[in-house]
Structure 1
């Protein structure tokens, strides 16, 4: 038996399927998602060579992933067109999220390889994470728990509507 560490536990057994990968069908989820409806797979927008999809396990509400349709693992494998559209979608995602929920800032990034933190290392994806002052409150720091104030389907609807609406 281990020594007590003084931490309270908030049990989240539903996350075990994510941790073990047992909730995922075989194959690449980023290759599979575009084969389904936007609402079913939480796709916010589709382009010619990339699409924007909500992260199923977001750091914050509105956490988008910009994914090429083509199955490539490394940024250097993208074509010039794909690089340009990843950049354009990243910029559009920031504009859209600002319009929809007024974040104070963003984290942008790609984790290249599992050692760098990529959960799905075989298919490149750009993270667009909205940030608000105080979004790293006591829950994740002390309680080691992240609270999410909005359901993913509602977030997808909000961002999809804002994505397609004209700029103010």
Structure 2
């Protein structure tokens, strides 16, 4: 039997679980953006890394408003979310060179929403062959880079892209 080490998971397993909506908490904790893996903020929405990613570079975009549906957002909130989606695509392309993306929103538990009451958009960079036997037979994902390293790489990309816009 082979052993697969995932030492970063112990912090979550043993750590105190947040009460309430983690997206609302991250939205309010501006002074903790670095440790919360928040990469970019706009007037009505923000970008953060998924700390339990489907793939390296998995980002989430959430409005500051605690809403569960696109129909509850105002036009300016929607605009910020999708302008951030464009920015995320540009940054991920610049620094990680993915061959494609999965971009989506899960509305409701039956649709796969892990957080049902706070709408958020997922952007997952994809590469040819990035799924492997581990996902198929062991329900395990292989993430090749530490979150902190990916975060620094992405932060530099966001700085570059925002200077050019």
TM-score (ref. length: structure 2): 0.86
Partner residue of 2:39 out of 25, 41, 44: 44
Counterpart in the other structure of 1:90: 85
The structural deviation recorded for 1:154 is: 1.4
Partner residue of 1:25 out of 5, 18, 23: 18
Counterpart in the other structure of 1:3: none
Counterpart in the other structure of 2:109: 114
> Which segments of 5 or more consecutive residues in structure 2 lack a partner in the other structure?
none
Contact 1:106–1:130 (CA<8 Å) still a contact in 2? yes
The structural deviation recorded for 1:11 is: 8.9
Mark the structure with the bigger radius of gyration: 1
What stretches of structure 1 move > 4 A for 4+ residues in a row? 7-15
Rounded to whole Å, the distance in 1 between the matches of 2:53 and 2:34 is 17
> Aligned pair 1:79/2:70, yes or no?
no
Q: 1:146 and 1:85, CA in 2 relative to 1: closer, same or farther beyond 3 A? A: same
> Which segments of 5 or more consecutive residues in structure 1 lack a partner in the other structure?
1-6
> Aligned pair 1:158/2:138, yes or no?
no
The structural deviation recorded for 1:143 is: 2.9
SS of the equivalent of 1:66 reads strand
TM-score (ref. length: structure 1): 0.85
Q: 1:144 and 1:8, CA in 2 relative to 1: closer, same or farther beyond 3 A? A: farther
